[in-house]
A and B are shown apart, each in its own frame.
Chain A
Amino acid sequence: MVYYLIICRSLTYAQRTAAVLERVGITAHILRAPRAIAGEGCSHGVRISPRRLAEALTVLGRAGLTPRRVFLLAGDGSYQEVRL
């Protein structure tokens, strides 16, 4: 399954990010970020559907929660960073 992962600097930011998205009806799950993309080690991310990325970024921007980095993750474990 392909999904976007919004990387957050802390668990609390990830929770706030997920709460803001859920409030507007965008399903958001908090995950530990894969080691390969958790730059500084141990970070959390928010998983959203590929169809909702643009909307999610708009909502987060409005809430002052502009993501640091976003990755596209594929079902085979490969990933690529999305240019924001």
Chain B
Amino acid sequence: MIYFDSAATTLQKPAAVAQAGVRAIRTCASPGRGGHRPAMLAADVAYRCRELAGALLGVSEPERVVFTMNATHGLNIAIQSLVKPGDVVVTSGWEHNAVTRPLHALGAQVRVAAGPMFDQTAALAAFDALLTPETACAVCTQCSNVFGMVLPVAGVARLCRERGIPLIVDAAQSAGVLSVDLDAWGADYVAMPGHKGLYGPQGTGLLLCGRNAAPRPILQGGTGSASMDQDMPRFLPDALEAGTHNITGVAGLLEGLRYVVRKGPDAILNHERKLLALAHSGLSQMPGVEVFAASAPEDQAGVLSFRVHGMDCEEVGQWLGDHGVAVRAGLHCAPQAHASGGTLDTGTVRLSFSAFNTLGEVERFLDLAERMCRRK
């Protein structure tokens, strides 16, 4: 199987990830729930994971690295902490349902900073025009999960800082590949999964909290701290970590983070861009295939969408799956991004890469794609 669905979850992980999970399930108890060795071992794993994530992602204090179940969990906490019903919220035109659904549920007035695909300058100008004194909050993905379009998050963060507007960044597709720097951005929250570009197990995620963030827990319960108080602790990470931790997942995530740090996000990004360029070049020569690729490589990361004239995207996905290539077809839980890209009616087929994919795999995929196009 050639696995090109890493934007959903990376299937291939460093061997140390699974080994750490197995070790943790045998040796780690619950952090903060006892002074015995298994509890302290679990606490040590959790702390090392926070510390390394903080170093990689620009968070100077480990307590501001909060464990979540996934990026969606973190985004829900962030949005519910900053947005009240009726508030004006500015988003990019490329957001995932993990952002748009919580905003819809809260009854926020969403204003979309729209712009053409792969045009970071236009995206920044759109934010510049919409970020006004009545804006309660801005939410921006760093990289579209459908098209791999890179958004100018550092620029949006600067605008937000200058105007005193809280910022939430969705780093679901960018963490581990693009530069994420919470403290430099001055963002209030950055949410990400642990199981994509950070190569941890499914069921892990991180929410990075800004220095002045005042998060509202969406889950209440035991934290192993301040137990007499019936209000949740206000201090991080306890405020947002009620209940027993997924310590086996955290142990795996720690190894995933070590892998990313060892390899270097820039090296992973460059590798994925080579794969993307080869796939783009091959697909664009096939008759009836429309590929969504940036003209400047820095505007796209790790994800390439295409569609085939005369074939439903799900049919393409199924055919490729049946022939040993895992891709994702449809709307990718991001109808807003498809609307912005003009593909809402058809959906697309998405290739998404990881550090474990090779140029040879892309070549084999291109051979298959050519066969598929010939037979239609």
Contacts and interface: CB of A to CB of B under 8 A. Distances in A.
A42 B43 contact: no
Contacts of A42: 32, 224-227
A30 interface: yes
A10 interface: yes
Contacts of B35: 31-32
Contacts of A10: 32, 63, 223, 225, 233, 235, 237-238
Interface in B15-71: 31-32, 34-35, 40, 43-44, 46-47, 50-51, 61-63
A44 B223 CA distance: 12
Contacts, number: 61
A11 interface: yes
Nearest to B50: A12
A12 B250 CA distance: 15
A40 to B, nearest CB: 4
A69 interface: no
Nearest to B36: A32
Contacts of B51: 19
B99 to A, nearest CB: 28
A40 B226 contact: yes
B228 interface: yes
Interface residues of A, number: 17
A16 B226 contact: no
Nearest to A64: B61
Contacts of B31: 11
A40 B232 CA distance: 12
Nearest to A11: B32
A32 B31 CA distance: 11
Interface string A30-60: 1110000001111110000000000000000
Contact of A13 (B40, B44, B63): B63
A8 B373 CA distance: 64
B345 interface: no
A30 B71 CA distance: 31
B34 A9 contact: no
A26 to B, nearest CB: 18
Interface string A6-24: 0001111101100100000
A9 B227 contact: no
Contact of A12 (B40, B63, B227, B229): B63
Contacts of B238: 10, 12
A63 to B, nearest CB: 10
Nearest to A33: B35
B227 A30 contact: no
Interface in B202-224: 223-224
B43 to A, nearest CB: 6
Given A15-B43, A15-B62, A32-B35, A9 B50 contact: no
Given A16-B47, A42-B225, 8 more contacts: A9-B226, A9-B235, A10-B225, A15-B62, A16-B63, A31-B35, A41-B228, A42-B226
